[in-house]
Structure 1
Amino acid sequence: TGLRINSALERIVRRCLEKSPDRRFHSAHDLAFALETVSSPSAPRVDSAAVPALDTRPHRLTGAHAAWVAAGALALALAALAAYAFTGSRTPAPPLLQLDVSLPPGLTINSSSAAAFALSPDGRTLAYVGTLNGTSMIWLRPLDARDSAPIAGSEGAAFAPFWAPDSLSIGFFADGKLKRADLRGGPPQTLCAAPAPRGGTWNRDGVILIGSNVGPLMRIAATGGRSTPATTLDASVHESSHRWPQFLPDGRHFLLLTRRSTFENTGVYVGSLESGTLTQVIPSTISALYASGHLLFLRDGTLMAQPFDSTSLALTGEPPRTIAEQVSYGAGLGRAAVSASDTGVLAYSRGANSATELVWTDRTGRRLGGMGTGPRTVQASLALSKDGTQLALSRMDPKRGEFDLWHVEVGRDAPLRLTSQTGNEVSPAWSPDGRRLAYALSGGASGIFVRDLANPSGRDVELVAERGVVVPNDWSPDGKRIIYEAPGAEGKPDLMVIPVAGGTAATPLLATVFSERQAQFSPPDGAWVAYASDESGVSEVYVCRSSDCGGKRRISSSGGFQPRWRGDGRELFYLAADRTLMAVEVTLGTAVAAAAPRALFRTSIFSALPFGFGYAVSGDGQKFLIDTELDLEMTQPVSVIVNWPRRNP
C-alpha cells in the first residue's frame, strides 16, 4: 500500500529529517511559516488508499518510508499548532491537514459502539479500545509515531476511555468498574463500580462524571471513593438515562445526552455541578462535543460545527458548517464516533452505523437463528403474541428518523408496515387472541390506540387520551383490561388499568412517588403483576396482586427491569443493569415464593427507548428473541484532521 502526499509538504518533511542541523529549520516560527505556504482552502490529504506498488514520481512514497513521512507530516502540523498557540499572532496560523491513522494488523475496533476512541486534550495521542487475539485493551497511538501500544492492566476494557485534563492519565471502564491509569507508570487503580457505563469526563479540580445506560450522571473524585448522583432523571418525561458527559472550559458546566420518551425532547443538554437544572442545546438522539469554541454534532451522518458560547451556554446565530461526511455513530448508545482535542485536532471514523437484528437464542445465549424483518435499521419494542406465531415491533424509518409499527408472521420473515403517521409508534402489546394490538403514539400527540388486525381498513381506536406520555404494558389474560403507564401527580409513571370495552375510567393499580413501569400480568389467570420500580433507589423487579398490589415481593437482587413471564407463570425473566438476562423460579398462590435469581447470559440488547421491551420469550421459556445490536468490527483507519476549525464549508 502506498501513500500520496502534497509534494511541497514532502519537501518540508524531508528537510526536518535531514541529518545535518544546518539543513533543518532553525526555529518553530520558520517551520510554521513554511507550513503556511502549503496551506490552501482544501486540505492536503495524507491518504491510505491503495495505489500501484511501483511509482517513481518524487511525491509518491511506499511502505515504511511512507508511514514515517506521514507521521513526520503530522508531527510538523502538531508542532505548528503548538507554536501558534504559544506565540499567537506572531506565528502564521498552521495549515489544515487531514490524514488516516491505520490500526495494527489483526487489531479491530468495535464500530457498533461508536465509542471506542478518544483524543488527548493536547491532541497528540489517540487512545482506543482495541481487540487483538480476543482480548480487548486500551491502546495508545501517538499521532506523530507509527505504532500503537497497549496499557498494561487494561484487559477487558469497554467503551471509550477519557482523559485527564493534563493528558497524563486515562479513565476507562473494565469488568463493571471505573479505573484510572497513570501513563507515567504503575498499575491501573479502581475508582468505583460502574456496571452500565456510558462515557466519562474529568475536570481540572479532579472531579469525574460518568454516564449510565439506566440512570443519572454519577460524580466521583479522581482519587476514588463513593460515587454520588450529579443529575436527577425527570420521570415526568420518562427520562431513563443521562450519558456521554463532557465538561465545558469552566469545569463546572457540562454537556450530556438525555434519553426521554419523545424524540423532540431527547437531546444534548447543558448541566451544572451546582444546579440540577438541565437546558436543551439541540434536539438529538446522538451526543455532541464542545471543541475550539464550537459545538460538534451529527446531522444525518454528517458532522457539523456551529459556534457555541461557553459563557452564555448557547449557540450563536452563525449557521452550522460541514466538517466531515459519512461519520459513524451508534444509535443504541447515542454516541458519535468523534473525538476532539483542545488544540484543534479532530478524529472520527467512517463506515457502517449501528443497526439491530432479531436473533433467536437458547437459555445459554447460543444463537439458534435470525428473523428477517427487512432492510437493516434500528428496531425496538418487541412483542410476541401469546401463541408465538406473530411479532409486533417498532422499526426506525431512516428517512424520517421516527419509529413505525410493523407486523411479522413468525417463520415467514415477511414484515408488514402497520403505521406511518407523524410521531413514534412504540410499545406494542398483543390481545390474548392475537387479533388486536395496543400501542403508544408519542411526538406531537400522545395516547394509547388499539389496532384490529382483522379489519386493516378500519380506524384505530383511541383508548387513552391524556396529556403526558402514556404507554401500554400488557393485556390481561381474559382480554378485558390493559395495564399501562401514565404520569402521576409528581410526573413519575404510575400503573393504571383500563377496561378495553371503554365506558369506565381507568383506575390506579400502583400510584406512588416512585416510578413504576413495564407491568406484565401473570399467566394463566392474571392474578399477579410483575413490574419494575425505583423505590429502592435503583430499578428493581417486583411482583404484587393485580387486584390491589398487595402481597408485594421483590424478585431481583441487584437491579432489574423489563420483566417477562414464562407461559405457565412459573418462571420470571428480567434484565440486570448490565443487560444480563436473569431467570427466577416463582411459585404463585396466596403469596409469592421466589428462588434466587440466576444469570442466563449477557445480551447485547439495543436500548434506544426508555419503554418497551428489547426481548421476547417463547411460551416454554426455552427460547428468546433478542433485539441485538450488530457487532460491526472496524478495521478501516481513523481519520484525523489537524486544525479542523480552518476547514471551509
Structure 2
Amino acid sequence: MSFAADTQLGPYKISALIGSGGMGEVYRARDTRLLRDVALKVLPASFTNDPDRLRRFEQEARAVAALNHPNIVSVYDVGAADGVHYIVSELLEGETLRQRITPTGMPARKAIELAVQLANGLAAAHEQGIVHRDLKPENIFVNRAGRLKILDFGLAKLRKQPAMHETVDATSAETSVGQVLGTVGYMSPEQVKGDAADHRSDIFSFGSILYEMLNGERAFKRNTSAETMTAILNEDPPEFSLRTGTIAPALERIVRHCVEKQPGQRFQSAHDIAFGLESLSSISATAAAPAMAARNKWLRPAVAALVLLIAGLGLGAWLRPGIPELHPILHRITFRRGAIWNARFTQDGNLIYGAAWEGRPIELYAAQNGSTESRSVGVPGTGILSVSSSGELAVSTNFQLEGFESSGMLARAPLGGGAPREIADGIEYADWGPDAVSLAIVRRVGGKDRLEYPMGKVLYETAGWVSHPRISPDGKLIAFIDHPFERDDAGSIAIVDAAGTKKKLSGDFVSAQGLAWAPAGNEVWFTGTPSGSSRELRAVTLAGKERLVYLGTGTLTLHDISKDGRVLFSRDDLRAGMIALAPGEKKERDLSWHDWTVPRDLSNDGKLISFDETGEAGGETGALYVRGTDGSPAIRLAEGRSPTLSPDGKWVLARGPGAKHVLLELPTGAGDSRTISTGDVLAQYAYFLPDARHILEVGNESAHGLRLWIQDIEGGKPQPISPEGAMVRRRQCISPDGKQVAARDPDGKITMFSVDGGKPISVPNIQPGEEPVQWTTDGKELLVGRREIPARVFLINLTSGERKLMQSFMPADPTGLFGNATPNFASDLKSYVYSYQRITSDLYIVDGLK
C-alpha cells in the first residue's frame, strides 16, 4: 500500500516517498507535534501479521531508541495508525554505503575512517545486548557530513527465507526468518547453520563489508544462495585486490581476523576492532614496506604500550624512518588517574602541564623530554595558560571551573620556579604574543566574553564564550573557538585581526576544545566533532578548507604543537551524571542515563527530573528527557537542550536544536507540543513562573549581553527586567509569589530583581563566586552555593543576613571531578538532585602527524 502526500499517520504527515524495498516503504514525513521532518518506514502487513514477531521487533526498536549513538540512526517512535505499523527515525541526507563502494573499492584511508565509525556504532549496541543480525552496505548510511549511521536494527527478525536456488547479486539478498537470520553474502557461519548468533556474528558481517569496501567485490560472492552459504562455511575470502594500491598487511590482518569461521577466533568486541583501525587511521593505509621503524629516545618500554600493540597488529612493517610524514607514533606521558587541564611545550622541548591527580586539587607538573616521570612544580591550585618565547609562564592561580569554562587570577611566573606575580583576576584564557611581552586574554565583562589583545583592547565579544585563543606565529592573527552558548562547548573555529575583523573558518561542531597553530602559520589545528563528544584532530586553512588529521580512540583535546611539529594532546574520558534523593528515601541513587547526563530541574514534589544528554549519546542536537527519582526508566521527549519543568511537572520548556529564537513547550505525558517565539531574544535558558502563564528567559539581543526577560507564554515581546550581565540558572530562583528573581548581577553579586521592574535589592552576606540556588517556600530565606568539591549549600536570612551551612554534596569517588553543582531541591528541601562531571586523562606526544 502506498500513501499520497499529506496522508496523516498518527501525528505524522507524509510529504513524499523516499524509497521502497522488501521491508516496506520509507517516506519523508512531518512530525506535527515537534515540527520536524522525519523518516517514516511503513512495515508491510505480511511482516506484521504475526503478533509475537511484531512484539519482539517493537521491543528491540525501543531498545535501539535508547542507544542514541551518533553512528546509529536515531529511532524516535514505533507505532500504528489505522492498522498500519510504522517506525519513525531521523531523516538522513546522503547515500548508502552501497552507493559509495565503487567496482574498484574505495581508498584505504577512507575505508578505515568509515569502518571506525561502523565499529563504534556496533560497540555501543553490543554493550546494551543488541545485535544487528543483518549488516550489509544497504543498511549503512553516510550523511553529507561524512558521518556514518547504521540502519534497521532488529528488522532481520521480520524477513522471509530465500529460496536456495535464487540468484544472488551484489546489491540485494533476502534474509530468512526463524533459524537463518541475515542477508546471504554477509551472514556469519553460525547464521548459515542456524546456530545461536551473538555479537560476534555482527563482527563477521563487519569484516565482509570492510573487505568489499577495500576490494569492490564481496568476500563470498557466488551465483546462488546455496553456493554463497557453502563458501561462507568452508572458504576464505580471496586475496586482496591491488586495484586501489597495495593493502597494508595490518589492515588485511584485521579483516581476516573478523571473518574467522569460529566465533571464538574472531575479535571479541567491536571496541577492539575500532582501536586497531584507529591505530591505522593516520598512517598511510596503502603503504607497504618491510623495514622496522628505528626507535628513538621517547620509545621506551614504559611509555610504548600503545606502540607495541600497534606493532602487534602488523604496523611495524610500515614504520620507515625515510617517510616520517606517514608514521605518527604516540608516546604516553602520564600514567596517574585524574584530569589534565592544560599542557604546553617549553622552549627547550620539555613539557609543563596542570593536572588534578587522584582527587586532589590542580597543580603544575613538569616533564623532561624523554622521561617517563613528572615532578610537581610546587604551585598548588594553579594551571598553565601559556609559555612565552623567553620561557616565562602565564598561569592561572585560584583556578576555578564552571562547566567547560574556567577562570582565575592571571599571573606571571618564571619557568625555573618562584612565586607567581599577579596581573588580573577573572581571566579565563591567556596567550603570549611573539614579543614575549604582550598577552591576549579572555574575560567576562557585562554579560559578554571579551577577547582582548593586548590587554585592554577588545577585538571580539560575545554573549556566548571564547576559548583557547592562540596568537599566530607572526603575531597578526588570533585563532580561537567561538561558542554561541555559555557553559556549552559547541562552537566553530574563527580568527580575528588587530583591527577586530573576525572571520569564521570552520563549520559548526557540537564539541570543540583545544586549538593551536601549525608551525608554518598556514593552518589552525583543533579538536572537534560534528556529533557526540568523541573529538577528532582536525585542521583548517585560513581560506576555510578543513581536513581530518587524526581519528583517535575516544575524546581528544589538543594542547600544543611544537616548532618541530610534535603534537601534544590528551585522550579524555568525560562523564557527567546525576545523583538524587527521592521523597521518603534515605539513600541517594545515581540516576545517570547516558554519558553526559545533566539535570536541569526537579519538580516541586521531588518526583520528576528533567535533564539533557549532550555528549556522545546526544548526537548532533542533544536530547531532552524526564526521569522519575524512584529510578524508573527515562523518557525521551525530543531533540534539544536545557529542559525545565512547569510548577506541576506536566510541561517542559527547552531550547530546540540550533540557535533559533524559539522555545519548545513539550508535555511530559499526554498533550500537544508547540513552539514559542522569543522575538529578537536568543534565549539560552527559560523557566516557568509560578503562575505558569509567564516565562523568565536568560538571553540576549544581537550584539548585546545576556540579561533577564519576562514574556507572556501566549506571545508578545519579551521585556527586560535586569541590566546586561545578569544570570540565573534555576527555576527555583524565582520567588514563591513570582514577583522577584534572585540572580547574579553584572558584578557577580546575588541580587533580587523585580519582575515588575522595581528597584533591585542586594542579598546580604554573600561570598565571592556564590550563586542563588532556591527560595524557601515562605520567601524569607535563600539557599546559595557555588560549584566546588564538595558543593556546600548555605541558608541566608534575607532580613538579618544570618548565614548557616545547610548541607554538603559530592559523589563518593572524587577522582577526576571537575564539576560538582549545588542541587535542585523539591519545595520541602528534603528531596534533591545534583550533577557531577568527571574527566580522566592521559597525555600523549605524537610524532609524525602532518
Query: TM-score with structure 2 length normalisation?
Result: 0.52
**Preserved CA contact (<8 Å) 1:560 1:574:** yes
The answer for the alignment partner of 1:190 in structure 2 is: 421
| Cα drift, residue 404 of structure 1 | 1.4
Matched, 1:540 2:768: no
**Partner residue in 1 for 2:338:** 110
| Superposition deviation, residue 569 in structure 1 | 2.8
Kindly indicate whether residue 762 of structure 2 is the aligned counterpart of residue 553 of structure 1. yes
Give 1:583 deviation, angstroms: 3.5
Q: 2:512 aligns with which of 275, 283, 286?
A: 286
Residue 716 (structure 2) pairs with residue 477 (structure 1): no
Match of 2:491 in 1: 266
Moved more, 504-513 or 340-349: 504-513
The runs of 5 or more residues in structure 2 that have no matched partner are: 1-287, 309-321, 400-408, 811-816
Query: Structure 1, residues 83-119: CA drift from partner, whole Å, max 9, x if none?
Result: xxxxxxxx9989956242444xxx62633xx534222
Given candidates 563, 574, 581, the residue that maps to 1:342 is 563
Partners of 1:358 and 1:569 in 2: CA distance: 28
Secondary structure of the residue that 1:154 maps to in structure 2? strand
Question: What is the aligned counterpart of 1:564 among 774, 784, 788?
Answer: 774
Measured after TM superposition, the shift of residue 412 of structure 1 is 1.7
Which of these residues, 536, 543, 553, is aligned with residue 314 of structure 1? 543
Indicate conservation of the 8 Å contact 1:386/1:433, yes or no: yes
Alignment of 1:330-409 (within 5 A): 336-350=557-571, 352-360=572-580, 369-375=588-594, 377-380=595-598, 382-396=600-614, 398=616, 400-409=619-628
Structure 2 residue 849 is matched with structure 1 residue 644: yes
State the 1:358 CA deviation.
Answer: 0.8
Structure 1 unmatched runs, 5+: 1-38, 50-59, 71-90, 222-226, 330-335, 608-612
Q: Percent identity?
A: 12
Q: Distance in 2 between matches of 1:368 and 1:200?
A: 46
Question: Does residue 411 in structure 1 map to residue 630 in structure 2?
Answer: yes
Shift of 1:162: 2.6
**Quick one: which amino acid aligns to residue 178 of structure 1?**
L
- Say if 2:681 and 2:699, in contact at 8 Å, map to a contact too: yes
What do the CA deviations read for 1:160-209 (whole angstroms, capped 9, x no partner)?
4531123x3333333343343323x4513222354574564454241223
Is this contact kept in 2: 1:98–1:639, CA < 8 A?
no
Question: What residue in structure 1 maps to residue 642 of structure 2?
Answer: 427
Given the alignment of the two structures, is residue 157 of structure 1 paired with residue 379 of structure 2, yes or no? no
Q: Which of the pair has the greater relative contact order for Cα pairs under 8 Å at 6+ separation?
A: 1
The yes-or-no answer on 1:505 pairing with 2:720 is no
Aligned to 1:626: 834
- Higher strand proportion: 1
Write the distance in 2 (CA, Å) between the matches of 1:552 and 1:62. Answer: 64
By how many angstroms is 1:528 displaced? 2.2
* Structure 1 residues 599 and 207: CA distance shift in structure 2, 3 A: farther
Q: 1:342/1:436 Cα in 2 relative to 1: closer, same or farther (>3 Å)?
A: same
8 Å contact from structure 1 (residues 532, 563) kept in 2 = no
**What letter corresponds to residue 528 of structure 1 in structure 2?**
Q
Q: Would the aligned equivalents of 2:492 and 2:505 in 1 still touch at CA under 8 Å?
A: yes
- In 1, are the aligned partners of 2:772 and 2:785 still within 8 Å (CA)? yes
Partner residue of 1:436? 651
Aligned amino acid, residue 459 of structure 1? D
> In structure 2, what is the Cα distance between the partners aligned to 1:576 and 1:133?
18
User: Counterpart amino acid of 1:209?
Assistant: A
Contact 1:47 1:100 in 2 (8 A): no
2:437 to 206, 218, 223: 206
* Range with bigger deviation, 572-581 or 286-295: 572-581
Deviations 1:106-158 (A, max 9, x none): x62633xx53422225534454536489575322222234543332x322334
- Would you say the 8 A contact 2:600–2:730 is kept in 1? no
Distance 2:809 2:468 in 1: 23
Contact 1:436 1:453 in 2 (8 A): yes
Q: Which has the higher helix share?
A: 2
Asked whether the equivalents of residues 372 and 414 of structure 1 are also in contact (C-alpha less than 8 Å), the reply is no
1:264 Cα deviation after fit: 11
Do the aligned partners of 1:615 and 1:627 also contact (CA within 8 Å) in 2?
yes
Counterpart residue type for residue 745 of structure 2: S
Inter-partner Cα distance in structure 2 for 1:639 and 1:605:
21
Hey, what does 1:180 align to over in structure 2? 412
Q: Which residue of 2 aligns with 1:98?
A: 329
User: Does the C-alpha gap of structure 1 residues 387 and 205 become closer, same or farther in structure 2, counting only changes over 3 Å?
Assistant: same
Q: 1:247 aligns with which of 451, 454, 471?
A: 471
Contact 1:407 1:416 in 2 (8 A): yes
Q: Structure 1 residues 441 and 497, CA, compared in 2 at 3 Å: closer, same or farther?
A: same
- Structure 1 residues 558 and 276: alpha-carbon distance in aligned structure 2, compared to 1, 3 A threshold: farther
SS of the aligned residue for 1:414 comes to coil
Structure 1 contact 196–577 (Cα < 8 Å) conserved: no
Post-superposition Cα deviations, 1:314-345, rounded to whole Å, max 9, x if no partner, equal 33x4x51433512534xxxxxx1442112211
Q: Does 1:323 align with 2:323?
A: no
Counterpart code for 1:247? I
Count the aligned residue pairs.
514
Cα distance, 1:417 vs structure 2:
0.5
Between 199-208 and 287-296, the greater mean CA deviation after superposition: 199-208
CA distance in 2, matches of 1:479, 1:99: 56
- For residues 298 and 42 of structure 1, the distance between their equivalents in structure 2, rounded to whole angstroms, comes to 32
Task: Calculate the aligned-residue CA RMSD, in Å.
Answer: 4.4
CA distance in 1, matches of 2:781, 2:580: 19
The 1-side partners of 2:466 and 2:387 are apart by 20
Q: 1:480 to 1:281 in 2, by over 3 A?
A: same
CA pair 407-574 structure 1, distance change in 2 beyond 3 A: same
Q: More displaced, 261-270 or 395-404?
A: 261-270
Matched residue of 1:353: which SS? Answer: strand
1:527 aligns with 2:753: no
For residues 441 and 540 of structure 1, the distance between their equivalents in structure 2, rounded to whole angstroms, comes to 30
Write out aligned runs for 1:68-147 (5 A): 98-103=329-334, 108=336, 110-111=338-339, 114-121=340-347, 123-125=349-351, 127-129=353-355, 131=357, 134=360, 136-147=362-373
8 Å CA contact retained: 1:122, 1:343: no
After superposition, give the CA deviation of every residue in 1:598-630 in whole Å (9 maximum; x if it has no partner): 7976986759xxxxx984124344665322111
Pick closer, same or farther for the CA change 1:254–1:63 going to 2, 3 Å. Answer: closer
Q: Give the C-alpha shift of residue 419 in structure 1.
A: 0.7
Alpha-carbon distance in structure 2 between the residues aligned to 1:621 and 1:118: 45
Task: Map Cα deviations across residues 476-502 of structure 1 (whole Å, 9 max, x no partner).
Answer: 3233322224545864445433444x3
Cα drift, residue 390 of structure 1? 0.5
In 2, Cα distance between the equivalents of 1:40 and 1:386?
Answer: 67
Q: Quick one: distance in 1 between partners of 2:796 and 2:693?
A: 28
